């Protein structure tokens, strides 16, 4: 179980009645699906990654049938067998990674949302290792719910299985968020059943999320030589969730904290 007491000032979990009221609106019409994966780590030691990132690939229900053929086309291009487990760490070549990012960027049926925690810039009170994933998930669900609301749709999300987080932990946290006055999740735009957890080997769409997350992570977390690579995320720029003229850093590339220091550290984001 994840320790949730004290999270953003909430001293106790929501009751089942609160959860029942969260999505009381009758939900009909088109469904969106968000598949969420992570990159980086939640650690706060000097050897931990500087960033922890959640990324979602969002697909409309009527386009979901396009995901598996797309992944198969990537496998074919890489000369991999059908059903090969497409995960970024299994793709070693920079050229192949650029190709994957370019192909992802061309898929008009796909939207991408990333939430980037700049851990070295966060106040110490905000980087408890056991809670940082859940802080990230809150920011992610806010943006996913806004995307669904804008299109008058309902969104279901699935996150890739992670250590020490169970389905009941996820449901608890949804209850916590339902009680928070500062939380900006539009609950009526999320599936009333709540989110789910699955494995990428079983649900191929989570392999899509892995590729999106890791391509984004390469722009922030340095490799063993101390280098980052922005080209992949630049290829993905057409797929980023944008909202009119609002800052990208509040929507498809949510950065936190977003201060003068972090703005100076990531000037390239303004070019996306």
What is 181-210 written as a DSSP string? TT----GGGB-TT--EEE-TTT-THHHHHH
- Of the candidates 169, 178, 176, 217, the one whose C-alpha atom is nearest the C-alpha of residue 197 is 169
255 within 8 A of 118, measured Cβ to Cβ:
yes
Which helix (H) or strand (E) element contains residue 112?
strand 110-118
Our separate counts of H helices and E strands in the chain read 8, 6
> Does the pLDDT at position 20 exceed 60?
no
Q: Coil, strand, or helix at residue 59?
A: strand
Cα separation, 156 vs 61, whole angstroms: 10
Q: Is the dihedral of CA 58, 61, 64, 66 positive or negative?
A: negative
**pLDDT value of position 130:** 64
Percentage, residues of the chain above pLDDT 90: 72
d(CA 243, CA 150): 9
Domain chopping of the chain, boundaries = 16-271
CATH label, 16-271, candidates 3.30.420.10, 3.40.50.720, 3.40.50.300, 3.30.70.1560:
3.30.420.10
Q: What are the φ and ψ backbone dihedral angles of 58, each rounded to 5 degrees?
A: -110, 130
Spatial strand order of the sheet with 253-256 comes to 196-198, 154-160, 31-40, 51-60, 110-118, 253-256
24 in Cβ contact with 109 (< 8 Å): no
- Would the pLDDT of 16 be above 80? no
Residue 9 has pLDDT above 90, yes or no: no
For residues 119, 121, 125, 127, the Cα torsion angle rounded to the nearest 10 degrees is: 0
How confident is the model over 175-206, as pLDDT tens digits?
A: 988 888 889 999 999 999 999 999 999 999 99
**Structure confidence by residue, pLDDT tens digits, 104-153:** 999 999 999 999 999 888 876 666 766 787 789 899 999 999 999 999 99
Q: State pLDDT tens for residues 41-91.
A: 888 788 899 999 999 999 999 999 999 999 999 999 999 999 999 999 999
Instruction: Tell me which residue has tokens 């250590």.
Output: 163
Residue tagged 């550290």 (tokens): 265
Of 229, 266, 236, 261, which is closest to residue 249 (Cα–Cα)? 266
């Amino acid at each position: 179980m994840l320790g949730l007491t004290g999270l953003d000032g909430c001293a106790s979990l929501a009751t089942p009645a609160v959860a029942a009221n969260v999505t009381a609106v009758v939900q009909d019409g088109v469904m969106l699906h968000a598949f969420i994966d992570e990159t980086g780590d939640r650690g706060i030691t000097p050897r931990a990654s500087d960033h922890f990132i959640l990324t979602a690939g969002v697909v409309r229900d009527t386009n979901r049938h396009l995901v598996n053929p797309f992944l198969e086309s990537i496998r074919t291009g890489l000369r991999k067998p059908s059903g090969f487990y497409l995960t970024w760490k299994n793709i070693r070549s920079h050229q192949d990674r650029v190709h994957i990012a370019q192909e992802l960027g061309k898929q008009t049926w796909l939207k991408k949302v990333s939430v980037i925690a700049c851990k070295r810039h966060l106040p110490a009170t905000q980087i408890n290792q056991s809670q940082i994933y859940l802080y990230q998930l809150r920011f992610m669900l806010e943006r996913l719910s806004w995307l669904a609301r804008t299109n008058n749709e309902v969104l279901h999300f699935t996150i890739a299985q992670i250590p020490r987080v169970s389905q009941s932990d996820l449901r608890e946290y949804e209850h916590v968020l339902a009680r928070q006055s500062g939380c900006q999740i539009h609950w009526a735009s999320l599936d009333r059943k709540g989110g789910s957890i699955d494995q990428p080997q079983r649900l191929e769409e989570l392999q899509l999320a892995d590729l999106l997350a890791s391509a984004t992570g390469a722009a922030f977390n340095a490799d063993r030589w101390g280098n980052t690579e922005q080209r992949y995320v630049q290829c993905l720029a057409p797929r980023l969730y944008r909202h009119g003229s609002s800052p990208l850093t509040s929507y498809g590339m949510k950065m936190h904290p977003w201060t003068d220091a972090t703005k100076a550290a990531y000037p390239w984001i303004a070019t996306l």
